[in-house]
Amino acid sequence: MAFVVKKFGGSSVATPEKIYHLVDRVLGEKKPDDKIVIVVSAMGDTTDDLLTLAGRITDHMPKREMDMLLSTGEQISIALLASAFMERGQKAISFTGFQAGIRTNANHTKAGIMEVKADRVMKALDEGNVVIVAGFQGITDEGDITTLGRGGSDTTAVAVAAGLKADICEIYTDVDGVYTADPRVVPNAIKLKEITFGEMLELARLGAGVMQPRAVEYGELTGTDIHVRSTFNRVEGTIIRGEYTMMEEKKFIIRGVASDSNVAKITVRGVPDVPGVAYRIFNGLAQENIAVDMIVQSTSAVKEKNDIVFTVTKTDMADTVGVLEQLKNEIGFARVDVEANVAKVSIVGAGMLGNPGVAARMFGALASENINLDVISTSEITISCLIAKEDEKKAVNVVHRFFFPNEEK
């Protein structure tokens, strides 16, 4: 008996025809006593459309109401999918996040899953149902609906798989695995057979949109292997797991190139050079749940003043400026500059640990295309450069070419 959680993204359920294609595939592969849970996203561009709709009412929709709105997308797809299974003669039942026991904190629009109480899902499986769970949503202890951040159905799927102790979590999408770069940007990117949680987490965090970073974190934390594969063909995809099992997969120094233009560069100018100032700035941002990246402090032209530069996601840009404006007088800095026309291009790979010169190679690649580097940041297994947004595609391609020369798909 197999016990599998399968997650289907928005493009996999975009139309009734696609829903039936998915249902027929699942039933075609299902053995009689297999236990199958399906986590599903909203149809096609539904979430984007709901965001546009919200924007026609207000630019400042309260986050609680935003969650109330956005969570409806997934509720449509679960009902349709469950009904399509029943139409094919398969017992099925749909559950919202609440009904599936997905308990989250109250951090609206990017809530974190605290616990999955899977009893009801388990009972429905034991009664012979294919269980359909709405991705992207959960419930607070107060009973408020939350959403888990864009791409959050991935996290629902991994959390449900972990909560049920399923054999594996399969993420079905419109590409057939994790590649060394976004195949839509780098046509000859290479498909990886395996990737570790650590490397996939960094790739996802740095912009490889194929998995939500939280989902990878959850997989690592709970030891749940994740298989990223295609909805539209049956080829083996990429397994995300703790350790490599195939020697050949270890040979790359870097595992991938990622880029992210959903970033904004914030410069706090003329910050007094005294202890505790950085603490006050970043603590203020942390209190608002704003994640900060690429922090650099440099001496400003003015004596005893510094400039502090960092990046945030574009979605947090307005909130970031709001927090800083509140702190301005208290801290006594000069002003805040915001630059939204930037992109972050990054390389990721545990192999760079014992290999000097990887950073130089990346900078050389970018220099060969005359791409100017703004902020640079590194971690143990990543190097990221902030560049002009217009250079993003060119940068990803040239960096990929330098690290994966002559590799064919």
* Interface ranges with ligand ADP (CB under 6 A): 9-11, 41, 151, 173-175, 178-179, 181-184, 208-210, 256
- Taking alpha carbons only, the member of 38, 313, 42 closest to residue 151 is 42
CB of 238 to ligand ADP, least distance (A): 8
Q: Give the nearest distance from C-beta 226 to ligand ASP in angstroms.
A: 14
> 47-79 burial, b for 16+ CB within 10 Å, e for fewer?
beebeeebeeeeeebebeebbbbbbebbbebbe
Q: Is 96 annotated as a binding residue?
A: no
Residue 50 or 122: the one with the smaller Cβ distance to ligand ASP is 50
**Euclidean distance between CA atoms 384 and 376, whole angstroms:** 6
Per the CB < 8 A criterion, the answer to whether 237 and 225 are in contact is no
**Was 219 annotated as part of a binding site?**
no
Q: How far is the CB of 392 from ligand ADP (least distance, A)?
A: 13
Q: Which of ligand ADP, ligand ASP, Mg ion, none lies near 284, with the C-beta cut-off 5 to 8 A by kind?
A: none
Return residues touching ligand ASP (CB under 6 A).
9-10, 41-42, 47, 73, 135-136, 150-154
Does the annotation list 174 as a binding residue? yes
Which of Mg ion, ligand ADP, ligand ASP, none does residue 280 bind (CB under 5 to 8 Å by kind)? Answer: none
Q: What is the radius of gyration, based on Cα positions, of the chain?
A: 22
Q: Is 179 annotated as a binding residue?
A: yes
Dihedral-angle region of residue 184 (phi above 0 means left; psi in -120 to 50 means alpha; beta otherwise): alpha
Q: Choose between 42 and 258: whose C-beta lies nearer to ligand ASP.
A: 42
96: amino acid identity, one letter: T
In whole angstroms, give the CA distance from residue 393 to residue 397: 6
With beta carbons less than 8 A apart as the criterion, state whether 372 and 406 touch: no
- Closer CB to ligand ADP, 181 or 375, in the complex: 181
74 carries a ligand binding annotation: yes
Asked if residues 169 and 158 have their Cβ atoms less than 8 Å apart, the reply is: yes
Residue type at position 31 = K
For ligand ADP, the closer CB: 331 or 395: 395
Q: Which is nearer to Mg ion, 96 or 212 (CB)?
A: 212
Is 46 one of the annotated binding-site residues? Answer: no
Where does this chain touch Mg ion (CB under 5 A) — which range of 3-11, 80-88, 136-144, 385-393? 3-11
Q: Which is nearer to Mg ion, 198 or 209 (CB)?
A: 209
218 marked ligand binding residue: no
Identity (one letter) of the amino acid at 182? Answer: D
Shortest spacing between CB 207 and Mg ion, in angstroms = 13
Give the whole-angstrom CA distance, residue 124 versus residue 147: 24
Which residue has the CB atom at the shortest distance from Mg ion?
151
Of the two residues 34 and 174, which places its CB atom closer to ligand ASP in the complex?
Answer: 174
CA separation for the pair 367, 373 (Å, rounded): 9
HEC string of 351-374 equals HHHHCCCHHHHHHHHHHHCCCCCC
Taking CB within 5 to 8 Å according to partner kind, which of ligand ADP, ligand ASP, Mg ion, none is near residue 391?
Answer: none
CB of 189 to Mg ion, least distance (A): 18
The entry of ligand ASP, ligand ADP, Mg ion, none that residue 136 binds, CB within 5 to 8 Å by partner kind: ligand ASP
Give the residue from 209, 214, 132, 148 showing the smallest Cα distance to 175. 209
**In the complex, minimum distance from the CB of residue 46 to ligand ADP, in angstroms, rounded to a whole number:** 11
151 scored as a contact of Mg ion (CB under 5 A): yes
User: Is 10 marked within a binding site?
Assistant: yes
Answer yes or no: is 234 a known binding residue: no
Q: Which two tokens stand for residue 117?
A: 């109480």
C-alpha angle 344-378-286 in degrees, rounded to nearest 5 = 75
